[in-house]
Amino acid sequence: MPVVGWVLLYILKKDNLINKLVSEAEIPEPPLFTSTHRWEDTPEQNVSLTKPGLSPAERVREAVDCLPTRLESPLAADVPPSSSLKRWTIMDFSRAYSSGETTPVQVAKRFLAAVKECSGPTMNMAFFISCDPEDVLKQAEESTLRYQTGTPLSVMDGVLVAVKDEIDCLPYPTTGGTRWLGKARPCEADAACVAQLRACGAVLAGKTNMHELGAGTSGINPHHGSARNPYNVGKVAGGSSSGSAAVVCAGLCPVALGVDGGGSVRMPAALCGVVGFKPTAGRLSNAGVLPLNWTVGMAGILAGTVEDAVVAYSAIVDQSQPSYLRPELNLPMLTSTPSISNVRLAKYGKWFNDSSEDIRTCCDKALQTLRAQYGWETLDVTVPEIEEMRLAHYVTIGSECTASLAKYLDKLKRSEIGWDVRVALGVYGSFSSRAYLNSQRLRNRQMFFHKEIFKTADVIVSPMTGVTAYTLQDDALSSGELDYINGAALIRYSIAGNFLGLPAITVMVGQDKGGLPIGLQFIGRPWSEATLLHIAFAMQEACSKNHRKPVVFYDLLKKD
């Protein structure tokens, strides 16, 4: 397979843009090797500043105070029409547990029954790589006892949270979507973000499926099955955090963790119609996350609603570093989102419109809605050298992936790796040191371009993907898939968030003619997570009433 990589690269060299725009380009800027950002006093409207040194559960309590109040019991709430979508939130589960209308054990049993059903041969949704019923029930029993004694740890106590199988979570191995990595690299402790969720009482629901080694955008995995899109089981869920997006979409968990190295949280979130949130590089700890791409990847959040993203974010944010290295944590006061004024949205029209007609129309309509309801202004801008940035990111993430895995790959039979990932690794391993160094020069150059845009705009807005979920090909299920046309369309708008370490969020704004979700993305200044969450919440409230329910959907708060 190393030969295949070189042959593929030779073919590409006939018109090799990596050579033309990266390796052989004259770039005046010095290299910038990380995407971390210095402390900046970013002005944000309607935020609550949390005190340093709070525990995860205490931060969650601060976040709850920022949420809009809904007084009715979830089990007494009006049932929407069968075709419309109602997602239960963390607060809904917490109220149901506190009132005694249901318990974490009852919800866990419904969850496990649903996982068993959708994992069987009839549905074959392949959401999870591993899920231990005994462990899930044990956690739920402990949570139920805390509610019975009036001592829940937080509103997340008893709430199911799934974890991408790229993040350490006991008692499971971390496979990275492979058959071999869990044995070669034993999981000895929870990742930092998982430990924080556990400290809040969350029930860790299992390890979700993913594209093998995160090296693809479809979520097709020849080893563990291909996670299917709950809106249409014949379509991809997106990658690489495919299972995490799909379980939230299907109602199995209000929140899941993913890892985002090239849109791998936000892309599947958009394809599955859920919220995908990647904070600023350095805002979350990477301890216990597979080090597949050091300078572009980090953990992220997939959630059914923006409110749940806020709560989960407050739980897992890393406040262990000195305050001079990063700003203190601002949480958005979603109760006052409608009063936010003078938000400026930067739109690069040529880039924005490089998407399907349904996506362009839907996303433009969403921006018009924000202008009509809030008076927020859209500014025309240019983002220079987008193709150069995409290629530089590709060289960077590929080089870092092969370097991080070298000690394993040198001893591994290539037959243990899917065909698509074998080819990808062959291409990654062919990148030169000159290509890598020039990519970091381009990172520095792009950082300047984006900072210039943020001098006049608060966020950059774009579709999240250029296409909606595409069809799963039967012959790809056992081999993996290299679909560079759809892959390029899916990743088109993802790069700045990773390559430049900027915070970014996607929220569903509608559906295409086939009923598949469409996501709109907002990219913010460094450390401006609260502003992004405000804008995403406003967008959610304006668009969510017309969302249709997925074909595969479970109501875990239903009465038995």
Looking at the DSSP bridge assignments, the partners of residue 128 are 208
* Cα four-point dihedral sign 203, 207, 209, 211: positive
C-alpha 179/C-alpha 174 separation (Å) is 10
169, 194 in Cβ contact below 8 A? yes
Token couple for 346: 């930067």
Q: 246: Cβ–Cβ under 8 A, 6 or more apart, which residues?
A: 125, 127, 208, 209, 227, 228, 229, 230, 237, 268, 272
Amino acid present at 362: C
C-alpha 140/C-alpha 117 separation (Å) is 20
C-alpha 406/C-alpha 466 separation (Å) is 33
Q: In 3D, which of 498, 483, 465 has the Cα closest to residue 389?
A: 498
Strand 275-278 and strand 298-303: the pairing is: antiparallel
**Residue 296, CA distances (Å) to 408, 441, 526 in order:** 21, 15, 14
Strand 330-332 and strand 232-236: the pairing is: unpaired
Query: Which stretches of 402-490 are assigned E, i.e. beta strand?
Result: 459-463
Active-site annotation holds for 451: no
| Residue among 23, 35, 226, 240 flagged as catalytic | 240
Q: Find the angle CA(397)-CA(403)-CA(409) to the nearest 5 degrees.
A: 115
What are the phi and psi torsion angles at 422 (to 5°)? -60, -45
140, 207 in Cβ contact below 8 A? no
C-alpha 523/C-alpha 386 separation (Å) is 15
For residue 508, the tally of other CB atoms under 10 A from its CB is: 26
Token couple for 359: 């996506």
3-state secondary structure of 427: helix
C-alpha 197/C-alpha 159 separation (Å) is 10
C-alpha 312/C-alpha 98 separation (Å) is 19
Q: Find the angle CA(57)-CA(258)-CA(417) to the nearest 5 degrees.
A: 145
Q: 255: Cβ–Cβ under 8 A, 6 or more apart, which residues?
A: 90, 159, 161, 162, 248, 301, 302, 303, 304, 308, 309, 311, 312
Q: Find the angle CA(249)-CA(254)-CA(260) to the nearest 5 degrees.
A: 70
| Residue among 130, 143, 164, 218 flagged as catalytic | 164
Token couple for 438: 């020039």
C-alpha 253/C-alpha 59 separation (Å) is 21
Report the Cα 359 to chain-centroid distance in Å.
20
Active-site annotation holds for 143: no
Active-site annotation holds for 415: no
| Residue among 244, 264, 285, 462 flagged as catalytic | 264
238, 219 in Cβ contact below 8 A? yes
Catalytic residues: 164, 240, 264
